[in-house]
Structure 1
Amino acid sequence: MSATAINATRPKTRPQPQFKSLLHMQAIVLLKLLWDQILSLEYAQITDILRSPSQVLFVAAEFGVVDLITELFQSYPDLIWRVDEHGRSIFHMAVIHRQEKIFRLIHDRGAHKDMIAAYRDKNNHCILHLAGKIATPNRLNIVSGAALQMQREMLWFKNVQPLYKEMRDSNGRTPRMLFTEEHAKLVKEGEKWMKSTASSCMLVATLITTMMFAAIFTVPGGNDNEKGTPIFLEATSFVIFAVSDALALFSSVTSILMFLSILTSRYAEEDFLRLLPQRLIVGLTTLFLSIAAMLVAFGATFCIVLSQRLAWIAVPVAFIACIPVTLFAFLQFPLHLDIVQSSYGVGIFA
C-alpha cells in the first residue's frame, strides 16, 4: 500500500499534458480501491499497515500528495491524530516540508488544528519551532532568488504563528530565536541578491533619465528662430514624442528612487516580507514603462525627421521598437510574477 499508493499518485516521470489528467484520475481510482480493501480489515491490521514499512501518511505529507491524504481522512478521520516516532503529526510534517496544500487541508478543520498544534516533538519543538527552521533545499528553491526565498520563509512563519504561543525548546530557544539563527545566512544572501538586482536596474534607469532629460531640450526638427517654439509643434508625431518623453522621464526617476530605497534599506527579517518586494515590484514596473515610453519617443522622433521623404518607414520602425520591450517583458515577467504572487496573497496561502 505505502509504496504503491504514493508512487501511483506521484509519478516519477513527467507525463505529456494530454495524458496528465487521465493519469491522475486513474491514480485516484486505484487509491480508492486499495483503501476500500484496507478498510475491510481489522483495526489492528489497519494500524500495522499505516505504521509500516514507511508510515504512508507521513511520507504522503512530506511529498505533498494531497489526494491520498484527503481520501484517507474522509474514510478514516482518526488518522488526523496520529504521530510519527518523533511525536510529530501530519500537520507538523506539512510545516517541516513546506507543503502548503497539506497545511491548508488541516488548517481548515477548525478546533482540531489547535489541539494538533499543541503537540511537541522529542526536542520539545512546537509547530512554530518547526516553521522557524529553514526549509529543505528542494522546497526552498521552488522560487528564484534568495530574497524571495526569505520572503517565503517569513510567510510560513507568520501563517503558523497564530496557531501557537511563544515557548522554548530543549535548548531554551523561542521560535523567533530559532528562526533568526536558522535564516541568518539566507538573510545575507537575500540582501546581496536585492542589492545586485537594484544596482543593475538603477543603472539602466539612470541612463534613461539622462537621455530623456536631454531629449526635451533638443527637440526633433529644431525650433523656430523667431518664436522659439518647436517647428513641428502642431504635428501629431511631435505630441507623441513629448508625452512619451515626459512619461519615460517620470517613470525612470520613480524607478531610481525605488531602487535607491532598496539599496539603503536596513534589511531586517521583516523587510523581506512586504517592504522590499513591494519596492522591487514598483521599481521593475516603472522601469518597464520608461523603456517602453523611451522607444515610443524614439519612433516618434524617427517619423518627424524622415516624414517628408520616407513616410513609409514609420510602420517597420514601430514593429522593430516593440522587440526590446517584448524581450524585456518576457525575461522579467517570471520574476515579477513570483514577487506579486508572494506579496499579495495569490500564492502559497491564498
Structure 2
Amino acid sequence: MASLALCGDVMLGRGIDQILRHPGTPTLWEAYVHDARDYVRLAERANGPVPRGADPRWPWGDALPHLLDADVRVLNLETAVTAGGTPDPGKGIHYRLHPANLDCLDAARPDVCVLANNHVLDFGADGLADTLDALRASGLRTAGAGADAAAAWRPAPVASATTRVVVLAAGLPSSGIPAGWAATDGPGVAYVPEASDAWVRRIGAELDAVRRPGDLVVVSLHWAGNWGYQVGPEERRFAHALIEGGADVVHGHSSHHPRPVEVHRGRLILYGCGDLINDYEGIGGHERYRADLRLVYLAELADGTLSGLRMVPLRARRLRLEHATAGETAWLRDTLDEICGPYGTRIGAGRDGTLAARI
C-alpha cells in the first residue's frame, strides 16, 4: 500500500513571491498590472491583511499536515525559479519565484515537481536553466522539462517506504504551452502535440526504459483549458489508453478548478486537480466555479489499484490555504458528485472533514 498526495498548479511567483522573505523585483509585463505587489493588495482588499516577510510555510497553511502525511508528494510547479532570464514576449503573464524563496517550496517536501507546463519557460531558456539548477541544488526531483528532449522526457523515480513510484510528466497544447517550447536538442518541455495513440506509445516507451516490477507509475499531464467541467472525448480516450498501457495514475492539471474523477480498470484518473496555490484572490470572473476553493488529493493504492481516494477541501484566504467551511465543503461535495457521476464516480463525506470517492 502506498499513499500519494497529488496536487494541481502551485504558483509561487508574483504576489506570493512578494510576501516571502526575499521578494524579487515586482516588475510585471502584463497588460493591466505592472507591479506584483498589486496582487497582494487585491488579496488584502478581499480578505484582510497579508504578512510581509512571511514564514515559508505560510502559503501552504492548513494543507501542509495533509501533504506531509503522504508517502509521496507530486505537484505541478507552475513557476520559474529565477532572478534573471528574459520575459517571453509571446506570453501575457509571467511567473517567477526568487531562488532565495525556494524554502517555500521545500516546506511541502515535494518528491516530484512537474515542470511540463505553460509557465516554466516564462523567462526563457536561461530562466529554465536557473529553475533546474535551483531545484537540483535543493535536492528536488523534476519531471517534464530539461536541457534537451532526453532530459525532459526522463521519468523521475521516487523510492517510498513501501514501493517505488515513477513519475513521467508531459504537456499538451490545450493547456496553452507554446509549440516552440518543446524540448528537442535544446531546452524545453516534454510536449505532446496531440492526444493520439502514437503519443501513448511514446510515453509507454519512456516508461518501459525505467520501469521495474512492482513500480507504481504516474503520468502527469498539463492539459485542457482554464475553465469548464467537460472532458473532451479525445482526452478521455487518451487517459484510458495510458491506463491500458500501464499507467496506474493519470494526474491531470491546468484548470483553475477541479474537474471530474474517474476510475478506469481500477486505476485513478484525475482529469484536472485545479489550482492549489496562487495569488488570484480579489480577481473577479468565473465565480460559478468557486476557484477560491482548492483540493489536495490523497490516493491510496495497492499494487497500482486504487483502494481509496480522499480529498481535503481548502480555501484561499490572505494568500494562505485554510480549511474550507462546512458550507464550502458541502458545495464542493455536491459539485464534484454531479460532475463525476457521468464517469461512474460518486463523491461523499469522508472522515475528518474530507471528501471521499465511492469507487
TM-score (norm. length: structure 2)? 0.27
Q: Could you say which structure has the larger radius of gyration?
A: 1
Structure number with the bigger relative contact order (C-alpha 8 A, sep ≥ 6) is: 2
